[in-house]
Amino acid sequence: HGGNVAMYRCDTVTQDGCLNPTITNVTLTGLSTQVENLLLGTGSSNGIIFKFARNTGAASTTEKAFMTSAPASIGGMIRTLSALNEGAARSFASRAAPFIAVEMARALVEDMLNAARSTSGVEDHAYAKLLTEDLERARRQINEEYAALQRRYGSEQELLAHFNQVIQTIRKQRYYTVKSTALGE
């Protein structure tokens, strides 16, 4: 969710620029919050759902990148729900944001582990085997943490089931509204 963290900051970015690091406090915005802000908007921006629901405003470069890289076809789900019912889309996005954040973080960590593994195999050095073992241990630990986060925030299948349930509810409401109007109720 983000918060204040203490970080080391180097003196300069030169080769020997980090010989005397200092500790600075930095406020970080959590990935889940960033996803929610993109989808729902903030005080200064409307958000993706607003733009889809009202067909107004061009998507920013960041919004386009998010929609094309969002995991589990979420971009399409958000687009569909936004067109049908903005409130339902906003509710779905709030529920989906932690799931999206976990999936994006996992993909990033997997890419880093794969890059580290492929680089460690290039050079034949004494510590290559130890590095490979450490990377595999890290991968197992990350998979365990990922499983715990899935239990907490839901899996792709659970999110898809929730999406289908929301779609069915919207369609039933529309059917009832159309039927009631046709019957003069």
HEC string of 112-174? HHHHHHHHHHHCCCCCHHHHHHHHHHHHHHHHHHHHHHHHHHCCHHHHHHHHHHHHHHHHHHH
Q: And the tokens for 129?
A: 């085997």
Q: Is the predicted pLDDT of residue 178 greater than 60, yes or no?
A: no
Name the pTM for this structure: 0.81
d(CA 54, CA 43): 18
- The residue ranges of every structural domain in the chain are 31-183
Q: Is the predicted pLDDT of residue 125 greater than 80, yes or no?
A: no
Confidence at residue 183, expressed as pLDDT on a 0 to 100 scale = 58
* Max CA distance (Å), the chain: 82
Confidence at residue 16, expressed as pLDDT on a 0 to 100 scale = 83
pLDDT tens for residues 83-93? 999 999 999 99
Mean pLDDT of 6-13: 89
Q: Is the predicted pLDDT of residue 121 greater than 70, yes or no?
A: no
Q: Is the predicted pLDDT of residue 122 greater than 90, yes or no?
A: no
Confidence at residue 98, expressed as pLDDT on a 0 to 100 scale = 96
